[in-house]
Amino acid sequence: MTCVARGASGPVPKGARHLVLDRSQLDALSALNEESFDAVVELTWQPRFAREALAALSNKTERWCFVSSVSAYANHDVSEMDESTQLLDPLDGDDATIEFYGEAKVACEQATILARGSRCLILRPGLIGGPGDVSDRSGAWVARCAQDPTAPLLVPRSPSSFVQVIDGRDLAEFIVVALTNDLVGTFNTVGESVAFSEFVALSRRVGGHTGEVRQVDWPWLKDRGVQSWAGPQSMACFVAEAEMAGWGSVNGETARSHGLNLRSLEATITDTLADEQLRGLGRARRAGLSLDRERQLLAQFSLEISKGNDQESP
């Protein structure tokens, strides 16, 4: 096992060889000129990186897996998107900014197919979570519930938001099994789709939260600078926009019928909590509200409700 990476995200797994490379540098992959591999798993979203790796290694590699994304799909406003759903137009260029992540992934897919033909495996995961989730999204709610289990919990009100987390360990296992069995084709590798309210309820149960749940309309929160989905001071994993209504309900049946095994969402959340506790429940987060910000919002909301009731009184 050889991991080719800068090392900026931490050490590689025990027993693996770490080849430290910065792929943005000219001829970075020349260090692999004398190498050959049974399989390559490519994670990049930069088309230039994908093309350079294919040029350097495809002829010397028996199996090739490109990990793409459901962000490659052109529209996310419908549920049950499958592998035949229309894709975005590919990025026209070599280097992408995050605003064109989906288009860049499509370009990487096309480069892979151009080089490999049908001899490749393309996976389209959605939200990858579980222990080790450095985005802090999948563990935000269970960490909050465990951090202050008796305090009121602020939850955005939405009947139509869904969450679909695939445990990173399940995705990794599928990659290994699929490559070992010479599986080729394109597969949505997504977790079980659950309503956002169910995801929060499960996070409360695992995190031991017994306090009150206070639902607040999303427009009110948005007007006060709260983000949806990701980012500091956000409602993590919550999808509010109508054009993204299908984001948490992608069809993953084809992958499951070809060997993708999903552990229960409760098991993932339980293990994620253990990881969150090791990293510190009160740390500065990349996703999710801080306790202080949550308390400020709740106090402001309660004050406005109180004033509104006073005005309505005879």
In three-state form (DSSP H/G/I as H, E/B as E, the rest C), the secondary structure along 198-237 is HHHHHHHHHHCCCCCEEEEEHHHHHHCCCEEECEECEEEC
Packing angle of the helix pair 265-279, 196-207 (nearest 10 deg)? 60
Number of other residues whose CB lies within 10 A of the CB of residue 149: 14
| Model confidence pLDDT, tens digit, residues 128-138 | 999 999 999 99
Q: Model-level pTM?
A: 0.94
Rounded Cα gap, residues 104 and 49, in angstroms? 11
| Model confidence pLDDT, tens digit, residues 14-34 | 999 999 999 999 889 999 999
In sequence order, what are the beta bridge partners of 217? 157
Rounded Cα gap, residues 24 and 48, in angstroms? 9
Summarize the confidence of residues 306-310 as an average pLDDT.
Answer: 68
| Model confidence pLDDT, tens digit, residues 150-186 | 999 999 997 789 999 999 999 999 999 999 999 999 9
Rounded Cα gap, residues 302 and 107, in angstroms? 49
In this model, does residue 309 exceed pLDDT 70?
A: no
In sequence order, what are the beta bridge partners of 186? 122
Q: Which amino acid is located at 280 in the chain?
A: G
Rounded Cα gap, residues 144 and 151, in angstroms? 10
* DSSP classification of residue 87: B
Residue of 249, 240, 242 lying closest to 217 (CA atoms): 240
| Model confidence pLDDT, tens digit, residues 89-128 | 999 999 999 999 999 999 999 999 999 999 999 999 999 9
Per-residue pLDDT at 313: 47
Per-residue pLDDT at 158: 78
* DSSP classification of residue 73: B
Residue of 214, 50, 173, 161 lying closest to 116 (CA atoms): 50
Q: Assess contact for 242 and 161: CB atoms under 8 A.
A: no
Per-residue pLDDT at 311: 57
The maximal CA–CA distance of the chain, rounded, in angstroms, is 85
Rounded Cα gap, residues 127 and 133, in angstroms? 10
Q: What are the distances in angstroms from CA 169 to CA 31, 95, 131, 216, 287?
A: 29, 29, 9, 34, 21
Summarize the confidence of residues 239-256 as an average pLDDT.
Answer: 92
In this model, does residue 312 exceed pLDDT 60?
A: no
Q: Which amino acid is located at 35 in the chain?
A: E
Retrieve residue 171's tokens. Answer: 């995705």
What are the φ and ψ backbone dihedral angles of 253, each rounded to 5 degrees?
Answer: -65, -40
Counting residues of the chain whose pLDDT is more than 70, the rounded percentage is: 98
Q: What are the distances in angstroms from CA 70 to CA 115, 123, 252, 279?
A: 22, 9, 11, 29
